[in-house]
Structures are given as C-alpha cells and as structure tokens.
Structure 1
Amino acid sequence: MTLLQVAGLVVGYGAAPVLHEVDLTVPPATIVTVLGANGAGKTTLLRTLSGLLRPIGGTIRFDGGSLAGVPVERVVRLGLAHVPEGRGVVAELTVEENLRLGGVWQADRRDARLAQDEVYELFPALAARRRHAGHQLSGGERQMLALGRALVARPRLLLLDEPSLGLAPRITAQIMALLRRLCDETGLAVLLVEQNVRSALSVADQGVVLSLGRVVAAADAAQLRDDAGLRHAYLGF
C-alpha cells in the first residue's frame, strides 16, 4: 500500500526547473529520507508536496487522490503536516498557544486538546515551559515545539525539513528515535529531508538521493548505507 506517490514531478522557479522527473513513494508507517547536497532540490520537493509551490508537470497522489491544485489548508486537513527548515515557531506566542495553532483545522475541539496533552507527554520539556514564549526556548525545545505543533493536527504523513539543523547530537538522536517510535507505534509516515546522513539512515526504512534535482538512487536505507561508491559520490562520507 502507498500513502504518497509522486511520479514525473517537475518543479521550477520561473522558467528554470529545479526538480526533474522525480519519482518516489511513501508507504504508511514508514520513514523515507531524502538526501543530497545543498541545492539538490530537497526543500523544493517538500514545499511542492505541501501545496506551497505549484508543479510544472507530473502527479502527486495522496491516499489515492490527486493533490493537483489543492490549497494548503486542504492539504493539512487531508493529513499532511509540513515542518519547514528553521523550526516554524511563532516566537511571540507561548508554547501552549503554538500548539493550539496546530489544531486550528480540527473540527473536534476535544480531540485537539487531547492531542496537545499527548505532545506534552512526548516532550516533557515543553510541558514544563508551556507558558514560555517561543523566543525563550532553546534550539532543541523550538524543534520539539515545531514537531509537536505538527503532530497536534493528527497527520498521516509528516514532511520534515532538516530537523537536526543547529542541534546538539544528543537532541538530534532523541528526535530521530521519537520519529522511529511514532512510525512503529502509531502508523505515522515521515518524509524526512536531512543533511545529517548517518542519523537519517539510522532510522529510515528507505532512502532517495537527489542530485541537481534528479533522483540518482532509491533503495532501502541499509543498502544506501553500505554502498561506499554512492556515499562518496553524493552523500559526503
């Protein structure tokens, strides 16, 4: 079964394509990591899937339905949540207010409150600082808050862009372990864009390598990890 299916995706800014005929699939309860150097098109891919950019060509299907022309708010209601690079926290709002924003599209107010309580259980550090503003949090806490706000929306697919950026290795390891646990225990699927290749491959089921907007490899994460030639050519280790 496939939750997300992307076929022949072409995306550009103006007349210049950035993604060229990109194909990928994300099954339920699976972490698929998208790897590649800066400028490979990884962030452009996530922005297109979440409805922020319009593709030039190709198809995007989520749970069997087309996402062509679907507005961002409808994409969220369908079950896709996007955590952009930079953590996406509203600095002036408190932790609690940021989490409430995550449930703004939920019709069931009671479930939205329950989802917020579940986030506090996942991230005890946020529970202790729920009255603090976003700008008062550490980098790790802001990343937890951005992830928690996305989870309040009850997504089936989480689009996650560079969650380890600027974080200590210990915090990165905690976030990666949490993603693995959520997939295994709740059925959440994750499309993970990450520069920390070793960390991403340690938790992912599958990997896709982009180079200059094209897919140059797609395989099980373990296979990518063990392919020395591919790693040296495209992944820098």
Structure 2
Amino acid sequence: MSERGDLLVVRDLVAGYGAAPVLHAVDLTVPAGTIAAVVGANGAGKTTLLRTISGVLRPQAGRIELAGEDLRGVPVERLVHRGMAHVPEGRGVIGELSVDENLRLGGLWRRDRADAARALDEVYQLFEPLARRRRHLGHQLSGGERQMLALGRALVGRPRLLLLDEPSLGLAPRVVARTMALLRQLRDGTGLTVLLVEQNVRSALSVADQGVVMSLGRVVTTAPATALRDDVDLRHAYLGF
C-alpha cells in the first residue's frame, strides 16, 4: 500500500469489448476506509471499470493494484481471496437457493470456518429482514431484500474492497436511503473500502468521501464529494442536475 494509504490504485487502464476500447487511460485511487463514488451519464464506462477491476473483463493495457499487489493475470476467484468483492448490477441473487444458502456461498472459500460462521451471524444482525426470511428462496424476496442479500453475501467473505454497481436500481427511495446509510455504517464501523457506481448521483455523493466523474470512458475529474456537489457547472455538464 502506498504512503497515502491507497488500497486501490488504477493507472492508465484501457479496456473494452472486442477491438474498440471503452476505457481510455483511466487513473483512479481509493484510500483505505473510504467510499469513492463513480458517477456520470449512461455509457460513460462506469460498469466496464468495475468489471475490469474485478477481473471479469481483461484489461488491454494499464495496471491495477490492491494494497500494492499487481492484479494483472490474477484469476477472479483469487481476487476474492485477496479481499475484493463485486456486487454487479442486477444483484446476482440465485433465485432457486434459500437466503441462507445464498449467504453461505459468500464464505465457502474461507478456511476459518468459525469466523465464517461469525460473519454470517453478523450479516443477519445487520439485515434483520433476511434473518426473518432465511429459509425463503431468492426469487421470493422483494427488490430491497434481494439487494440486502447480495450485499450480505459479499460481506460474509469479509472483503477489504467492495465494488458495488448501481445498488439503487429499481428500488424505492427509502430503500435507497437505507442502503447508502449502511455503506456509511460499514465504512465507519469496519473500515470497509467501497468503490460505488451509481446513477443516483445525489445519493452517491451524499455518502461518498470522493467523487470520480467519468465521461466517454475517461475520468473528467476527481474531487471530494462535497466539492462536486457544490460545483454547479460540472454538475450541469456531466451529472444532469
């Protein structure tokens, strides 16, 4: 890890699908124990950025480091072991499995079975609706409960870095507010580092420490979230409010 305490460092990242890159020389740093919100219009490359960092998409050029370790060539499953968890857009809950089975999947790889059990108990304490519905199947849950389940499954693995893609998608405003408050609680209580991609810019910047504005596959600016909220010209140009 660098002297600044950056947990995630991305340098000159180029990535895409086929021959045409979507990301163009993206630079990004996320200090440990902070929330960074990646915001911008549809098509800006936000989801591609998370998919590349998490190893789902192979970068064409550039460097990705987690706690100073070069992640190039590291298989996706090994990234999980190194402390990275990715909750994709659409949440990825397995509908045919129960809540409890979905959560236990998040800790199957862990060798410390006692701590994996403690992590499971902690998730049930954090998400009381899941504790009440632990035997229900994933497809029987509401949208908000599925979001809780996806987050909970990631947390059972005790990640250092959580990549979270569009957690507010399709959810009621009160559920979105609860989700954002939870991220702040995890950051403050456990030191979790979060890289958040979110279309709801106001909500994202309300919880984030820093904001990263993307447009057409490039980082336009990186600044404290409060500064981005107060920058009227930037908001109008790139964020739509």
On whether the aligned pair clears a TM of 0.5, the verdict is yes
**1:34 matched residue in structure 2:** 38
1:73 equivalent in alignment to 2:77: yes
- How many angstroms apart in 2 are the aligned matches of 1:72 and 1:15? 22
Letter in 1 for 2:141: L
Q: Secondary structure at the match of 1:59?
A: strand
Query: Equivalent of 1:46, from 46, 50, 59?
Result: 50
**1:153 matched residue in structure 2:** 157
Shift of 1:208: 0.4
Shift of 1:113: 1.1
Alignment identity in percent?
A: 75
Letter in 1 for 2:116: A
Q: Secondary structure at the match of 1:3?
A: strand
Letter in 2 for 1:167: L
Query: Equivalent of 2:10, from 6, 11, 23?
Result: 6
- How many angstroms apart in 1 are the aligned matches of 2:19 and 2:97? 39
Shift of 1:92: 0.3
**1:23 matched residue in structure 2:** 27
Shift of 1:109: 1.1
Runs of 4 or more, structure 1, over 4 Å off, are: none
Query: Equivalent of 1:109, from 108, 113, 130?
Result: 113
Q: Give deviations 1:115-169, integer Å, cap 9, x for gaps.
A: 1110000000000000000000000000000000000000000000000000000
Query: Equivalent of 1:141, from 142, 145, 150?
Result: 145
Matched positions, count: 237
Structure 1: runs of 5 or more not aligned: none
- How many angstroms apart in 2 are the aligned matches of 1:9 and 1:207? 18
- How many angstroms apart in 2 are the aligned matches of 1:202 and 1:219? 14
Q: Secondary structure at the match of 2:175?
A: helix
Shift of 1:12: 1.5
What TM-score do the two structures reach when normalised by structure 1?
0.99
Structure 2: runs of 5 or more not aligned: none
Shift of 1:97: 0.1
**2:192 matched residue in structure 1:** 188
- How many angstroms apart in 2 are the aligned matches of 1:87 and 1:55? 23
